[in-house]
A = this chain, B = another copy of it.
Amino acid sequence: MAEMAHLVAARLRGLGASVELCPTSGHPVVYGEIDAGAPRTLVFYNHYDVQPPEPLDEWTAPPFGAEIRDGRIYARGVADNKGNLLTRLQATECWLRGAGSVPCNLRFVFEGEEEIGSPHLEEFTHRYGERLKGAVGVVWESGGKDASGRPAISCGVKGICYVELTARAANQDLHSSQAAIVPNPAWRLVEALHALKDVAADRCLVGGFYDAVRAPTATELALLRENPLEEQRMKANWGIDAFINGLTGLELSTKLLFQPTCTICGITSGYGGPGTKTVLPKVARAKIDCRLVPDQRATDIAAKIRAHLDARGFRDVGMEVLSAENPSQSPVDGALAQAALAAARATYGEDVRLQPRGAGTGPMFLFKEELGLDCVSGMGCGHAGAHVHAPDENVFVEDYFGTVAHVGRLLGGLGCARARRARGRQGGDVRSAPAA
């Protein structure tokens, strides 16, 4: 992690940015500033950490080799998020080399703990927040093309409450013949999990779980209607016959973006290798990921899960909160969102989707709710088959350069606004932004 932070800092310095490694209780935030004397300031938020590469045997290329094959780059993090981070740096470089300067002031916030829930980013925003205030907004880290190949711009994220449940029994793994008389933590965990969810209805049973869920506005619903999910392609890509409960259309989009989830990300107990091992496990663990929507709060949901387990008689099942982030929503008709949309259309053509929010999570609330900065997401080089968080993560080389261009045009657009204002005052010519 330290090596990666220093590598990112060096790349930033190479652009002439003033760079600080802002220490936190965890990994440092790499913070960079480029002041162009422009009236507008734009913030880039990205992260230099990645998900674990496991399971290693399911990769067709070394996860840290960045192999280019058939027009794609394969590497852990190439879509999420090292690839996108680099597009910001290279778009900046294009401006500097092509025009001699960037059309707006830039602030780079590159953290190292996004994939574990950004537990210490708040330390950065508290200390450095003043340097960001007044910016036009924050270009978020993630994004890319949907299953139909259309770019999608969005203005919000879900939150997350990620907990680990642990059931224990004997102090050691026992021969499974003893299971006739010794409690089995795996069965106990199955019961606790069963108590958390009505699986058939795909509804979380935790008391009060849905209380703070905000319904979509008319504008948001209209966007969902205008931009239906590419259901056939998604199903084909993922090899599934149907979505949960056969949902389609607006119901499906609304569920994806406006409903919280309660997801088993992992269960482990006893023996998981090939063949048989006749063992009575001493422990069973489940990792549970709840994606949250406005106005749910992560710590509140964690407390409700604990209370629900207690009320259902599962006081013996341990629970540890591993990650807690609140959801966040910026307006879809804000200046930054509209500038990002215009830059996307200039880059990719008119067929660009604008959606209220994404289904993923990130610490937007620290910027939006605490610093008052609108956030826009979707300026990334991912795609529907990018295998984000999974083996064979990849992006198309073409999409990578498309993203560089998209980001470059956004800078140009924000700069043109300055130029338009200047022209309004002085009547001078405006040089159009170079194609980055």
Interface residues of A (CB under 8 A from B): 51-52, 54, 115-117, 158, 160, 162, 169-184, 186-191, 193-194, 197, 199-200, 238-240, 243-244, 247, 252, 255-257, 259, 261, 263-273, 275-281, 284-285, 287, 289, 291, 322-323, 358-361, 387-391
B277 touching A174, Cβ below 8 Å: no
A269 surroundings in chain B (CB, below 8 A): 264, 266-267
- Once A256-B180, A276-B116, A277-B51 are accepted as A-B contacts, the answer to whether A264 and B187 lie under 8 Å apart by CB is yes
A175 surroundings in chain B (CB, below 8 A): 360, 388-390
Closest 10 CB pairs of A and B: A171-B239, A268-B272, A266-B270, A186-B264, A177-B359, A179-B263, A266-B271, A173-B390, A170-B238, A181-B243
B184 touching A389, Cβ below 8 Å: no
B184 touching A264, Cβ below 8 Å: yes
A268 to B286, CA, bound (A): 10
A193 to B358, CA, bound (A): 33
A322 surroundings in chain B (CB, below 8 A): 275-276
A178 touching B387, Cβ below 8 Å: no
- Once A175-B360, A194-B191, A259-B180 are accepted as A-B contacts, the answer to whether A276 and B267 lie under 8 Å apart by CB is no
Number of copies: 2
B285 touching A265, Cβ below 8 Å: no
Q: Closest CB-CB distance, A283 to chain B, in whole Å?
A: 11
Q: Closest CB-CB distance, A323 to chain B, in whole Å?
A: 5
B272 touching A285, Cβ below 8 Å: yes
Q: Which residue of B lies closest to A270 (CB)?
A: B266
B256 touching A266, Cβ below 8 Å: no
A280 touching B263, Cβ below 8 Å: yes
Q: For chain A, what secondary structure do more than half of its interface residues adopt (helix, strand, loop), or is it mixed?
A: mixed
A265 touching B243, Cβ below 8 Å: no
Selected from B116, B162, B271, the residue in CB contact (under 8 A) with A265 is B271
B244 touching A183, Cβ below 8 Å: yes
A51 surroundings in chain B (CB, below 8 A): 277-279
A188 surroundings in chain B (CB, below 8 A): 199
Q: Closest CB-CB distance, A382 to chain B, in whole Å?
A: 10
A240 to B186, CA, bound (A): 15
A279 touching B389, Cβ below 8 Å: yes
Q: Closest CB-CB distance, A167 to chain B, in whole Å?
A: 11
A340 to B179, CA, bound (A): 28
A115 to B175, CA, bound (A): 12
A309 to B375, CA, bound (A): 48
Q: Which residue of B lies closest to A360 (CB)?
A: B177
**Given A171-B240, A177-B359, A184-B263, 5 more pairs with CB closer than 8 A:** A177-B261, A180-B257, A182-B238, A183-B243, A265-B280
Q: Which residue of B lies closest to A252 (CB)?
A: B181
Selected from B177, B194, B389, the residue in CB contact (under 8 A) with A277 is B389
Selected from B162, B200, B244, B268, the residue in CB contact (under 8 A) with A278 is B162
A190 to B165, CA, bound (A): 14
A256 to B182, CA, bound (A): 9
Q: Which residue of B lies closest to A170 (CB)?
A: B238
A173 to B264, CA, bound (A): 12
A/B interface sample: 23 pairs, CB < 8 A: A51-B279, A54-B273, A160-B278, A172-B387, A172-B390, A175-B360, A175-B390, A176-B263, A178-B256, A179-B261, A180-B359, A182-B244, A183-B244, A187-B193, A191-B200, A194-B194, A264-B281, A266-B271, A266-B272, A267-B268, A267-B284, A275-B322, A276-B322
Q: Closest CB-CB distance, A281 to chain B, in whole Å?
A: 7
Q: Which residue of B lies closest to A54 (CB)?
A: B273
A180 touching B291, Cβ below 8 Å: yes
Q: Which residue of B lies closest to A387 (CB)?
A: B172
A271 surroundings in chain B (CB, below 8 A): 52, 54, 265-266, 287
